[in-house]
Amino acid sequence: MSPSKSRTDALMAGEELSSVAQRERRKRIVDATIALASKGGFDAVQMRAVADRADVALGTLYRYFPSKVHLLVSSLAVELERAQEKMDRTTVPGDSPYERVLFVLGRITRGLQRNPHLTEAMTRAFTFADASAGAEVDRVAWLMESMFTRAMSDEDPTDEQKAIARVIGDVWLSNLVAWVTRRATATDVANRLELTVRLLLK
Amino acid sequence: MSPSKSRTDALMAGEELSSVAQRERRKRIVDATIALASKGGFDAVQMRAVADRADVALGTLYRYFPSKVHLLVSSLAVELERAQEKMDRTTVPGDSPYERVLFVLGRITRGLQRNPHLTEAMTRAFTFADASAGAEVDRVAWLMESMFTRAMSDEDPTDEQKAIARVIGDVWLSNLVAWVTRRATATDVANRLELTVRLLLK
DNA sequence: GAAGTTTATAGAACGTGTTCTATTTCCGGC
DNA sequence: GCCGGAAATAGAACACGTTCTATAAACTTC
């Protein structure tokens, strides 16, 4: 049982899946997760339901993703990558970092708000993640940070820019959570983000 | 069953508990929660274990706190109140908001880091909370915010000060979570907090 | 202080995340 | 094509949060 560990880790990371069949299985699982999450949020992502929908045995699901949190955080990474790619194909308007960051922030936020259940599922998983999902969480955190540093400038970001991006990411996530738990309206979120970016970049 | 609803809500809020016995039960429950959390973190706070330790039936526990998350977030509020009281008895040194906020932040952070398991349990519950625990979460958010606005000045805080306090709170929580999940060291946390406060208040 | 109501108790029961077991299928090397 | 080990499958089993049931104890009100 132990010698298979490294192979299993590769499955989790989603890279270098030995066979086509495995890559397809993994994709089916992530797709099923996103579909279920979109329909009913965190609670609707039940491991048996994901396995069923992905046409995979429960044990196989757990071989690919060792927990529900890993599964959802990995799906969040997939979604963020998609958003980043879309953003890369867009020319971000605005001639100051302030304006450009605000544009990116507004766009992604509205994108997520278009799918409240999915957002709820993914953000709750992200913030609930424990140490065992550290790698996946770090990956998402890095995606978020680089999303904002890229908006600030085309050059390599300075340390200060990285710090600012991180703060924005923290505030962004916290407001997203407040929104999915209905403690803040979309307007509240927009206002607070604007205010935060202003404090940091103006 | 329905007519008792309003009474139950009062129990949750922890105010106006009709009898001494009830206030004592509630206290025993919170104490048991904190003790178990201190020993083994979120996972060790098992509802049956809390009930046992508080000498209360499982059903009674649920009458006082409708879920594990409510229980832990309420306990977090209790802890923050304690910290605030302690802070009130201290003269916060420093002659700029920057210095004073940093002092308060450092103190509370080190305080929490002295009890990693408890901190893990409470922060994870806080960030995992769903809409049903909105009131409890808001209370904690408010405690955090006012902790920082108080450090900034003795006067009533301006809107900008409130905004800054909120941002600091978001960053603080996020770093605390990174620390409990072992994605950041205590030094990382201290550095990032310092940097954030500098960006916002200097 | 008795009747009626609310609250507490013990413990069974249920749902869902996770683990385990036994069996079958797939795949790389001969 | 065949063998041996890894991966997948079906399904049972287990753990813990939560809910439910039946009974007893504690209160209110007269």
Kindly report, residue by residue over B67-77, the tens digit of the pLDDT: 999 999 999 99
Q: Tell me the two tokens of residue A165.
A: 């991006």
A48 CB contact with strand C at below 7 Å: yes
Q: Per-residue pLDDT tens for B33-72? A: 999 999 999 999 999 999 999 999 999 999 999 999 999 9
CA A123 vs CA A5, A120, B80, B122: distances in Å: 28, 5, 25, 18
Q: Tell me the two tokens of residue A98.
A: 């302030």
Q: Tell me the two tokens of residue B13.
A: 């809020």
The closest of A179, A8, A155, A200 to B163, measured between CA atoms, is: A200
- The residue to which tokens 């990995």 are assigned: A74
- Burial class, A44, CB count within 10 angstroms (exposed 0-12 / middle 13-18 / buried 19+): middle
Give start and end residues of each alpha helix (H) in A45-115.
47-54, 58-64, 68-88, 97-113
| pLDDT value, residue B9 | 43
From A167, A177, A181, residue closest to B167, measured CB to CB: A167
Buried b / exposed e over A97-130, threshold 16 CB at 10 Å, is bbbbbbbbbebbbeebeeeebbbbbbbbbbbbbb
The closest of B26, B137, B81, B85 to A184, measured between CA atoms, is: B137
Closest alpha carbon within chain A to B199: A200
Residue A23 CA to D3 C1' — how many Å?
27
| pTM attached to this predicted model | 0.90
Angle at B168 between CA B142 and CA B75, to 5 degrees: 40
Q: Treating both helix axes as pointing N-terminal to C-terminal, what angle do A68-88 and A116-128 enclose, rounded to 10 degrees?
A: 120
Share above pLDDT 90 across residues of chain B, in percent, rounded to a whole number: 88
Q: Per-residue pLDDT tens for A88-105? A: 999 999 999 999 999 999
Q: Per-residue pLDDT tens for A142-173? A: 999 999 999 999 999 999 999 999 999 999 99
Cα–Cα dist A200/B200, whole Å: 7
A19 CB contact with strand C at below 7 Å: yes
Q: Per-residue pLDDT tens for B90-145? A: 999 999 999 999 999 999 999 999 999 999 999 999 999 999 999 999 999 999 99
The closest of B184, B100, B170 to A199, measured between CA atoms, is: B170
From B42, B137, B174, residue closest to A173, measured CB to CB: B174
CA A20 vs CA A8, A16, A24, A27, B91: distances in Å: 16, 10, 6, 11, 65
- Burial class, B85, CB count within 10 angstroms (exposed 0-12 / middle 13-18 / buried 19+): exposed
- The residue to which tokens 């050059």 are assigned: A155
- Burial class, B19, CB count within 10 angstroms (exposed 0-12 / middle 13-18 / buried 19+): exposed
Q: pLDDT confidence of A35, banded at 50, 70, 90? A: very high
Cα A54 versus chain centre, distance: 21
| pLDDT value, residue B13 | 52
Q: Per-residue pLDDT tens for A105-131? A: 999 999 999 999 999 999 999 999 999
Chain B interface includes A142 (CB < 8 A): no
B18 CB contact with strand C at below 7 Å: yes
